[in-house]
Amino acid sequence: MNNHPFEAVVVGSGATGGIAAMTLAQSGIRTLVIEAGPQLKVEKALGSEPTNTFRRLIGLASGEQKVQAQHPGYWKSNPLLYTNEKFNPYTYPLNKPFMWTQGRQVGGRSLTWGGITLRISDHDLKAPIQDGYGSEWPISYNDLSPHYSFIEKSLLVHGNKDGLDYLPDGEFLNPLPLTESEKIFFEKVQSQLNYQCIHSRGFAHHDSADKNVWPNSSSLGSSLKNALATGKVEILPNKMVDHLIFNKDCTRASGLILVDQTNGKREKLDANLVVLCASTIQTLRILLESKEQNLSNGFIDPSGKLGQCLMDHVSTCRFFSLPNRSLKDKDTQNKEKHILSGAGSFFMPNCSNSEHSLRKNFLRGYGLWGGIERFEPPGCLKRRGDSSIGFLIGHGEVLPRSDNKVTLSHKTDRWGIKAPHIECSWGENEKKMVTHMNKTIEDSVEASGGTISPLKELVKMPFIEPFVDSAIALQTSSPPPGYYIHEVGGAPMGVNEKTSVVDSFNRLWRCPNVLVVDGACWPTSAWQSPTLTMMAITRRACLEAIKPQS
């Protein structure tokens, strides 16, 4: 590879990395995308059954994917898309577990993304003004709206125009149909409890029968594909960024130090513009390693906030059964139409922004994501043959606290790269929110005529029941931070360098040719699934970065 033909370097090839590459390349900028993992072919990346199941069992038995296997997504994806935890370590206090899911391959975690696309509004961006907690975002909904629209049109997302000011409508294809059980649930919950229920917004289920097509929800099936089509983009796989290099007065980044993941060899790469899209915790690791405290001639963070205020959505989950009284159409076509996906599901949005909030004793909001009859097992595996299986998962906003943070561990990976040390726990506000979530779920299931039960009482799970019994994520209490894979924060946007790490266009305050555009730049977490907003922020920042200088 020639070291000098690129005008921009994008670190990471997932959801934000794909948007960064597409935005820059479509503007004529020659761009290199660096990815820490390999470049896989479609068939190998998606995998198939029963091979994927055998790989999962091996990952569990060997301890290579012990933490990541706690997340339900692991059990429906190819485990090759989840990292080997022995080769990619991180540390945390014993009394504060953190469940970090990593994706090290071209496409990153976009290949295992659930595909839900929700906009956030000024209710979320300006919430600190209303309740006095934390810092507001230095941007408004109007700053993001055109980028939301561009991305929704480009990526072909489904949804319904619901007219909710706290969950703005987007540019949607028609919503995917509800199941008959979901229709009954909607009618009962809305009429008896006055809770809002809407179609989920996002991507349809990817047809796994087509082994040569990437999912449209992945960067490889959308943004990165479009970027490569320009002829302006090259991908450099199996290279992890250790740290950034700066000029003498530390006002600009001049390059990066890369570590080859196949042999540990280090090399220097020149760069005029660096766009960090490595995912929140990896981006924080790179920035921490590049600070003046850890690197001679490193960059200065006047705020002292780098690494602080890590957030993830607090969550809770309940499974339930509904009587099969309305389900007469059980043909194959109907089952195929109702497979669980980002758009094939439903939301009860911002449950604390309604009349229900009269029982609220906490700050900010949450939503419930659900589905009924979306993952029905074969009849021989159902313990209640006359019922349909549903789930409701709450995910709520987490308040930024300085003691929730990422630092550098003394532990290193096999090539000497320092591992992140993650210290994060739920506060009293989150605990009160989870109590409220559980009550909302219980009321909703009762109103619909359903019964809450542990998953193992609804489905027979041969071979893995012992694991299910001990799985942290399936206990009655809220799973630890990291479980929801919505980690944000640590390098927040702001209005001045004393209170934030990057400015309103995501530039390091004293080193403006470094953009931090993934979840690391978030001052607050909001409650919505964050990926669409991350992509909108990325496009906005990249377009600003390449504007002609006046």
Give the residue-averaged pLDDT of 364-390.
82
Q: What pLDDT shows up at residue 61?
A: 86
- Which residue in 107, 506, 453 sits closest to 273, CA to CA? 506
Per DSSP, 243 falls in state E
Q: What is the pLDDT of residues 530-549, one digit of tens each?
A: 999 999 999 999 999 999 87
Q: What is the pLDDT of residues 443-486, one digit of tens each?
A: 999 999 999 988 777 776 665 566 666 666 566 678 999 999 99
Q: Return the bridge partners of 255, or none.
A: 245, 270
Whether the Cβ atoms of residue 197 and residue 390 lie closer than 8 Å to each other: no
CA 522 to chain centre: 13
Q: Percent of the chain scored above 70 by pLDDT?
A: 90
Q: Is 225 helix (H, G, I), strand (E, B) or coil?
A: helix
* Tokens matching residue 281: 């915790």
> From CA 154, how far away is CA 223, in angstroms rounded?
8
Q: Is the pLDDT of residue 356 over 60?
A: no
Model-level pTM? 0.94
Q: What is the pLDDT of residues 52-96, one digit of tens each?
A: 888 888 888 898 998 998 888 888 889 999 999 999 999 999 999
**147 phi and psi angles, rounded to 5 deg:** -80, -35
Pinpoint the alpha helices (H) of 278-396. 280-289, 332-337
Per DSSP, 188 falls in state H
Question: What confidence category does residue 332 fall into, taking pLDDT thresholds of 50, 70 and 90?
Answer: very low
Q: What pLDDT shows up at residue 329?
A: 46
